[in-house]
Chain A
Amino acid sequence: MKRLFVLAAIILAAAITTAQAGSLVTLLAQAAAEAPPAAPAAVPEARSGEAAPAAPVAKPAETAPAAAEPKPVPVAKPAAPDAPKTAAPRSAPKQDHNAFADMSLKECGSCHKGEGIALNHDADWVRGHRLLSVRPDKNCVSCHQQSFCLDCHKGGGIDVNLKTNIVGAGTSPGSHRTDFREIHPLKALDNPQSCYRCHAAKYCSDCHAKFRGEDLKVLSHRKGWSNLQTANPGPAHSTFTTAQCQTCHPGGLLPTHTWSSDHGREARRNLQACQSCHSDGQICQTCHSARTGLRINPHPRNWDKVKESYKKKSNGRSCAKCHDNY
Chain B
Amino acid sequence: MSQPRRVLIALCLLLAGLWVAQTATALEVKGRSSTQYSWYNDIVDGSKQAQLAEYLSFTLNGIDSANKLSVQGYGRAAYALKEPADGSSKFDDRLYYLYADYKGFADTVDMRIGRQFVNLSAGSSLVDGVQADFNNLGLVGVTLMGGRDIQFGEKGTLSSHSYAAGMALYLVGLKKTDLDLSYYRAYDYSDVARDMVGMNFRQFLLDSVKLYANTRYDLTAQVFSEVLGGVKYFPMMELMLTAEYFESYPTFDTTSIFSVFAVDKYKEGVLKADYAALAWLDVSAGLIKEQYGKDGDATVYEIGLRVRPSHSFTVGVFYDARSGYGGDLNGIKTYAEYSDLRRLKLAAGIDYDVYQRDTMTGDEIARKYWAATRYNFTKQMSATLRVEDNVNANYSKDMKGRATFDYEF
Contacts and interface: CB of A to CB of B under 8 A. Distances in A.
Interface of A: 1, 4, 7-8, 11-12, 14-16, 18-20, 23-24, 27-28, 30-31, 36-37, 49, 51-52, 55-58, 60, 66-71, 73, 75-76, 90-94, 106, 109, 112-119, 122-124, 127-128, 130-137, 145-147, 149-150, 153-166, 168-169, 177-179, 181-183, 185-187, 189-193, 197, 200-203, 206-207, 210-211, 218-219, 222-223, 265, 267-272, 274-275, 280-281, 284-285, 288, 298-303, 305-306, 309-310, 313-315, 317-319, 321-322
B4 interface: no
B208 A116 contact: yes
Contact of A131 (B55, B117, B202, B358): B202
A19 B124 contact: no
Nearest to B171: A15
Contacts of B298: 189-190
B174 A93 contact: yes
26 contacts: A18-B205, A37-B138, A55-B59, A58-B57, A68-B285, A70-B304, A123-B284, A131-B200, A134-B124, A137-B135, A146-B72, A146-B117, A164-B386, A165-B388, A168-B42, A179-B398, A181-B43, A183-B366, A186-B329, A191-B248, A191-B268, A202-B151, A268-B261, A269-B325, A271-B261, A318-B254
Given A8-B181, A306-B222, A68 B303 contact: yes
A219 B357 CA distance: 8
A32 to B, nearest CB: 9
Contacts of A190: 288, 290, 298, 300, 322
B222 A269 contact: no
A59 to B, nearest CB: 9
Nearest to B155: A206
A112 B42 CA distance: 49
A118 B212 CA distance: 12
Nearest to B238: A109
B133 interface: yes
B207 interface: yes
Contacts of A116: 176, 204-208
Query: How would you classify the secondary structure of chain A's contact residues: helix, strand, loop or mixed?
Result: loop
Contacts of A179: 366, 368, 390, 392, 394-395, 398
Nearest to A109: B237
A251 B225 CA distance: 35
Contact of B262 (A183, A300, A321): A300
Contacts of B325: 189, 269
Interface in B218-240: 219-226, 228, 232, 234, 237, 240
Given A23-B175, A67-B302, A179-B395, A134 B200 contact: yes
A149 B401 CA distance: 23
A117 B86 CA distance: 52
Given A73-B282, A202-B151, 18 more contacts: A1-B219, A18-B205, A37-B172, A66-B333, A67-B318, A69-B284, A136-B120, A146-B72, A147-B74, A150-B96, A155-B94, A157-B34, A162-B372, A190-B288, A191-B248, A191-B290, A280-B257, A318-B259
B153 A137 contact: no
A246 to B, nearest CB: 24
B40 A177 contact: no
Contact of A76 (B70, B158, B311): B311
B266 interface: yes
B126 interface: yes
B296 A7 contact: no
Contacts of A268: 261-264, 293
Interface string B162-177: 0000001011111111
A181 B400 CA distance: 15
Given A131-B214, A182-B355, A313-B192, A73 B308 contact: yes
A193 B248 contact: yes
A47 B121 CA distance: 35
Q: Which 10 A-B pairs have the closest CB atoms?
A: A116-B207, A70-B282, A281-B257, A123-B284, A68-B302, A31-B138, A313-B192, A123-B274, A162-B372, A169-B51
Given A68-B302, A178-B331, A313-B254, A55 B117 contact: no
A86 to B, nearest CB: 15
In the complex, which of the residues A51, A70, A135 has the most CB atoms of chain B within 10 Å of its own CB atom? A70
Nearest to A298: B261
A200 B176 contact: no
Nearest to B56: A158
In the complex, which of the residues A122, A158, A285 has the most CB atoms of chain B within 10 Å of its own CB atom? A158
B312 interface: yes
B138 A76 contact: no
Contacts of A305: 222
A202 B158 contact: yes
Interface string B29-64: 011101010101011100001010101111101000
Given A281-B256, A299-B262, A118 B76 contact: no
Nearest to B41: A168
Nearest to A34: B138
B129 interface: no
Nearest to A313: B192
Contacts of B58: 57
Contact of A11 (B213, B261, B355): B213
B222 A302 contact: yes
Contact of A160 (B178, B198, B366, B402): B402
Contact of A186 (B256, B288, B355): B355
B274 A70 contact: yes
B83 to A, nearest CB: 14
A315 to B, nearest CB: 5
Contacts of A156: 55, 74, 76, 94, 96
Contacts of A58: 32, 57, 74
Contact of B257 (A113, A155, A197, A285): A285
Contact of A315 (B80, B141, B190, B272): B190
A169 B117 contact: no
